[in-house]
């Protein structure tokens, strides 16, 4: 009787340890996935800027995966009379 009682306590402790470990693994993978998503989003948003290819008027070129093989050459801003044509910086694709 005492042996069965001790065995059930031991099994309960093992079960509790297993459940705690599984929750720990689940939540650590969840945190790891969020860190991975955050890192990838930072690379997509700032990767081209870090490589010197970022430009607002070349957004169609660089937005494929955040990196670009199209080099953008900046030119001096010019005075634009039409407000619709105004861009923060005029640029040409080299």
Residues 69-91 pLDDT 10s: 445 455 555 555 554 544 455 55
Per-residue pLDDT of the chain (94 residues; tens, 9 = 90+): 555 665 676 677 888 888 888 888 888 999 999 999 998 888 777 765 555 544 444 444 444 444 444 454 555 555 555 545 444 555 555 4
Provide the pLDDT for residue 37: 92
| 3-state SS string for 38-86 | HHHHHHHHHHHHHCCCCCHHHHHHHCCCCCCCCCEEECCCCCCCCHHHC
Provide the pLDDT for residue 14: 82
Provide the pLDDT for residue 32: 93
Cβ-based neighbours of 87, under 8 Å, separated by 6 or more: 56, 57, 80
Instruction: Of 86, 38, 42, 94, give the one whose Cα is nearest residue 70.
Output: 94
């Amino acid at each position: 009787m005492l042996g069965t009682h001790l065995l059930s306590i031991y099994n309960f402790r093992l079960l509790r340890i297993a459940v705690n470990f599984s929750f720990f693994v689940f939540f650590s993978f969840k945190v790891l996935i969020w860190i991975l998503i955050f890192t990838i989003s930072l690379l997509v948003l700032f990767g081209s800027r870090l490589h010197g290819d970022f430009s607002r008027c070349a957004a169609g070129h660089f937005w494929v995966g955040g990196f670009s093989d199209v080099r953008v050459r900046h030119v001096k801003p010019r005075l634009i009379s039409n407000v619709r044509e105004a861009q923060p910086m005029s640029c040409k694709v080299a």
